[in-house]
Amino acid sequence: MNELDNSAGDSFGLDVIESVHKRGIEVGVHKCRGDMWLIQGHLRDVRDRDMPLRGGEIRRAGTPLHEMTVQLAVDSTLTILAAEANIAAVPITGICEGIAPDYSRLKGMCITTGFRRELRRLFGGLKGCTHVTELIMSMASVAVQAVGSETEKATDGEKPRQLDACHALDTTGSAVKYFYPKWYRGFT
């Protein structure tokens, strides 16, 4: 994570004295045979100084405080066919990891409108792991971008789902006029 450093506060006039915590989230999307997709996510939290944990253990600086991976197998409609979460590092060992198998309940859900709301309903608060759920939300966004752009050509005239989903892809705006002229509804 070398993009983040102590000079980051310069634009705000802040005098950063110490780096404390970094989080990295990486998501990869892989096209598979049979019109299938593998979405992989990895989250890692690292402290920049030693951190005492429960029971007297010390987590050394640079050693992951949180580290988890999630894999989702989806079809071209973004329906989840299989889901797996793995938790490799946590501050409360022996407890946090126990929730990982519950994420297989994502099977059958579709990563489209309402997915985040349903994810929070199923895994919010005491029903899930904040970090795994946050990772899945990032994965969903990337999956929609990657799979959506690859399958857009096969939508049989349906409006691409990314249109009107953010300010840049407003169907009255210049980006849509240029990249999606069929769906442009502004003034010509």
Is residue 13 situated within a structural domain? no
| Residue 175 belongs to domain spanning | 159-188
Residue 134 makes CB contacts below 8 A (sequence gap 6+) with 25, 43
CB-based contact 76:147 (threshold 8 Å): yes
**From residue 2, how far is each of 16, 27, 65, 68 by CA, in Å?**
16, 18, 18, 21
135 shares a domain with 180 = no
Q: How many domains does the chain have?
A: 2
Average pLDDT over residues 154-170: 77
CA distance 151 to 138: 20
Is residue 87 situated within a structural domain? yes
- Residue 7: pLDDT above 70? no
Of 26 and 162, the structure prediction assigns the larger pLDDT to 26
166 shares a domain with 90 = no
This model's pTM is above 0.85: no
Is residue 57 situated within a structural domain? yes
- Residue ranges in the chain assigned as alpha helix (H): 115-123, 130-151, 174-179
Average pLDDT over residues 28-56: 94
Q: Is 181 exposed, middle or buried (0-12, 13-18, 19+ CB in 10 A)?
A: exposed
65 shares a domain with 40 = yes
Is residue 10 situated within a structural domain? no
- Residue 160: pLDDT above 90? no
**What is the tens place of the pLDDT at every residue in 108-140?**
999 987 999 999 999 999 999 999 999 999 999
Average pLDDT over residues 87-112: 92
- Residue 15: pLDDT above 80? yes
Give the pLDDT score at 105.
96
188 shares a domain with 99 = no
Tokens of 58: 């010390």
Of 73 and 156, the structure prediction assigns the larger pLDDT to 73
CA distance 115 to 102: 17
Map tokens 């198998």 to a residue.
Answer: 101
53 shares a domain with 134 = yes
Is residue 73 situated within a structural domain? yes
Give percent of the chain above pLDDT 90: 59
Give the pLDDT score at 1.
43
170 shares a domain with 119 = no
Residue 44: which pLDDT band, with cuts at 50, 70 and 90?
very high
Tokens of 84: 């797996």
CA distance 97 to 115: 24
Give the pLDDT score at 96.
86
Give percent of the chain above pLDDT 70: 90
Residue type, 19: S
**From residue 103, how far is each of 34, 69, 179 by CA, in Å?**
24, 11, 37
